[in-house]
Amino acid sequence: MKKLFRCLITLSLSAGALSACSFEDIFGGGSTSDKPADHIDVRDYSTEVTKGSKYEFDGKVFAVYEDETEAEVTKKCTFTTLDTSTLGTSKFVVRYEDSKYIHKKTISVEIVKDSYVALQSISLPENLKVRQGSTKSITPTFVPSNASNKEVSFSIANTNIATVDSAGKITPKSLGETTLTVTSKENSSIKATTNLIIHNNAQDEWTILMYVCGANLESGTDDWGNVPDADEAAGLASADIDEILSVKNQPDDVNIAIQTGGANVWQSGHSYLIDKTKLQRWEVNNKTLVKKETLSTYKSMGNSSTLKSFLEWGIEEYPAEKYGLIFWDHGGGMSGCCFDERKGSDGLTHDEIVTAVSGAFSSKGVDRFEFVGYDCCLMQMMEIAEFNSPYFNYQVTSQELENGTGWAYDKWLDYLYGGASTETILKAIVDGFIEVNGGKDGTGYSYQGEYYACDQTLSVINLSKVSAFKSAWEDMAEATKARIPNTSSAKSSFKTKVLNKTKVFAESVGADKDYSEFDCYDFLLKLESESTFNPGSSYINAAKNAFNEMVTYNLVQLEGSADAHGLSCYFGNDGYNTSTYTHFTKWSSLVSHVGGY
């Protein structure tokens, strides 16, 4: 998968100046031609695969011409099936047909035995609720997640209250409580229990509201409205919807509601036929996308009132004990997210999100949502977390640029459907994302990745801890500012010795720190190491401790993101140092004093 990031190249307070990543920059110029080739060359594919697994070609195929030029033709090739049933060398054939010739190349792949990984433990949520008249399939959590043998048996203490089949599907019989046990078939000493509650409440357990602004991630258009030849860049929003629809065993008390819009084109080939000219609302119902509502007037997905209307509709239509809100699109850190290409890339700023959320909560009598997630680039910032802290318990998103393919929805919905705890669900979001992009999961298991390795991060923030972190960070900022004389040489020295050594994100976008997002914890480490500017161990340690309390789970795809600790801070120009963008006033004063990037 070539890099298409969920970010914006140009940052400006002017909505008209917000532009999506240029496809010409990302994919390069030129186009694939059907002119006769001399031969084909196959590169960058996996040369080993585990016995019995399904092999998907993950490399690239190039047509090489007589004049020694070449063009990638991967999408125009066909591939025979690779037999992975026996150990040893297996082969498949790559076939490419141009305007004159049929080219074939035989590729060898080694079929290997996967190393055995012992199961250490099984866990279940403390309580598992199932509504009378519905069913639910339980999904245990295995440690390590890549254990070789995950076969388990299920049992229920009182079968007059509920029964469970061999696949973990629970069928209520009567109201009440009993105990459900999951036991490893390989090692019966490894087991877990949960309190199973059969209830008859009117509210469902979960409602996930997805605000899907397709933008050019879906349409495939570039900054100038052109559709490039690199058509693999299009259809990423509908592809994630398809991932959601691929997951089975959705219980009756878990709802997923989606609003679509913001793209000049929605890719064809989908039975649900999303209309580019309309804002539409959908329900996921047992692997089917059901259209629930089409709004008569198109309003920008970057408008606060559009988001507020969707939230009010979702809360009223799908009342639940717990809610999650997911934003899907480009992200630009301090500049916001969800940039509607039908409306001049108008996007949601953070104060607009707060206005929509607070208004919808007030009108519908909701106190808080369980989590807010941004399937977008660069949104895991302390400024954003502080804005969201009165309204959500957790925030999950990335410090870094996200691959255009975004979250791996088919990797975590099983946990949502299986009644897992909020913390387990959010960790599964992080683990799944890192797994498909390469890196290590929470147990230390290393993944090659579905796509080639690139810097990727994802973390979970406990928003109830933001207030304490803000207090400690602000104290540190005030004390640090006092140690920087109001001279150009002192300010330049601070940037050279502290900031320029701190992990910065979106470096691939531009050399001038375009987004000005620095890792909070790494900043503290670099500040601590410079005696000239160090405000004192009490300030540094207080900020470190508050940071560690707040960041509950953080994973990075190693490479250049090794210094990413789970939360970023902004050190940019004065345009963002207002209440519209941040409530960290003492930190903003330090930024203004030194001069932001």
The verdict on residue 402 lying in a domain is yes
For residue 357, the enclosing domain spans: 204-464
Average pLDDT, the chain: 87
392 and 508 inside one domain: no
What local confidence, expressed as pLDDT, does residue 458 receive? Answer: 93
Q: What percent of the chain has pLDDT over 90?
A: 65
Residue 545 has pLDDT above 70, yes or no: yes
Map residue 481 onto helix, strand or coil: helix
503 and 514 inside one domain: yes
The verdict on residue 149 lying in a domain is no
Confidence band, pLDDT 50/70/90 cuts, at residue 188: very high
The verdict on residue 556 lying in a domain is yes
The 10s digit of each residue's pLDDT in 359-377 is: 999 999 999 999 999 999 9
Torsion of CA 384, 387, 390, 394, to 10 degrees: -10
The 10s digit of each residue's pLDDT in 331-340 is: 999 999 999 9
Q: What is the DSSP letter of 402?
A: P
Mean per-residue pLDDT, 325-335: 96
Per DSSP, the chain holds a count of helices (H) and strands (E) of 13, 33
Mean per-residue pLDDT, 513-535: 94
The verdict on residue 394 lying in a domain is yes
What local confidence, expressed as pLDDT, does residue 8 receive? Answer: 59
250 and 308 inside one domain: yes
Burial of 202 (0-12, 13-18, 19+ CB in 10 A): exposed
Q: What is the DSSP letter of 87?
A: S
The CATH number assigned to the domain holding 237 equals: 3.40.50
The 10s digit of each residue's pLDDT in 428-483 is: 999 899 888 765 555 555 554 444 445 788 999 999 999 999 999 999 999 999 99
Residue 2 has pLDDT above 70, yes or no: no
Report the range of poorest mean pLDDT among 115-129, 411-425, 463-477: 115-129
Count how many domains the chain has.
3
Mean per-residue pLDDT, 68-86: 89
453 and 557 inside one domain: no
Bridge partner residues of 280 (DSSP): 260, 294
471 and 441 inside one domain: no
Report the range of poorest mean pLDDT among 14-28, 129-143, 380-394, 549-563: 14-28
Handedness of CA 384, 390, 392, 393 (dihedral sign): positive
447 and 554 inside one domain: no
How many other C-beta atoms can be found within 10 angstroms of the C-beta atom of residue 342?
A: 21
The 10s digit of each residue's pLDDT in 212-252 is: 999 999 998 765 555 544 444 689 999 999 999 999 999 98
Outline where DSSP puts E strands in 73-203: 77-79, 88-97, 102-112, 121-123, 127-131, 136-137, 141-143, 152-156, 162-164, 169-172, 176-184, 191-199
Outline where DSSP puts E strands in 185-332: 191-199, 204-213, 254-261, 280-284, 289-294, 320-328
252 and 385 inside one domain: yes
Confidence band, pLDDT 50/70/90 cuts, at residue 512: low
The 10s digit of each residue's pLDDT in 10-34 is: 433 333 333 233 333 333 333 345 7
The verdict on residue 164 lying in a domain is no
The last residue of one of the domains, among 58, 77, 112, is: 112
The last residue of one of the domains, among 47, 80, 112, is: 112
433 and 488 inside one domain: no
What local confidence, expressed as pLDDT, does residue 555 receive? Answer: 74
Mean per-residue pLDDT, 112-126: 85
The verdict on residue 158 lying in a domain is no
- Top mean-pLDDT range of 80-89, 143-152, 448-457, 519-528: 519-528
411 and 478 inside one domain: no
Q: What percent of the chain has pLDDT over 70?
A: 87
The verdict on residue 221 lying in a domain is yes
The CATH number assigned to the domain holding 38 equals: 2.60.40
Confidence band, pLDDT 50/70/90 cuts, at residue 575: confident
Helix/strand/coil (H/E/C) assignment for every residue in 212-230: EECHHHHHCCCCCCCCCCC
Residue 572 has pLDDT above 80, yes or no: yes
472 and 424 inside one domain: no
Mean per-residue pLDDT, 580-585: 90
Map residue 444 onto helix, strand or coil: coil
The last residue of one of the domains, among 112, 130, 162, is: 112
The 10s digit of each residue's pLDDT in 255-274 is: 999 999 999 999 865 657 89
The verdict on residue 128 lying in a domain is no
Q: Can you give the pTM of this predicted structure?
A: 0.77
358 and 451 inside one domain: yes
Q: Residue 15: CA atoms inside 13 Å, Cβ hemisphere, count?
A: 18
459 and 475 inside one domain: no
Residue 207 has pLDDT above 90, yes or no: yes
Mean per-residue pLDDT, 41-49: 89
Bridge partner residues of 569 (DSSP): 518
What local confidence, expressed as pLDDT, does residue 29 receive? Answer: 33
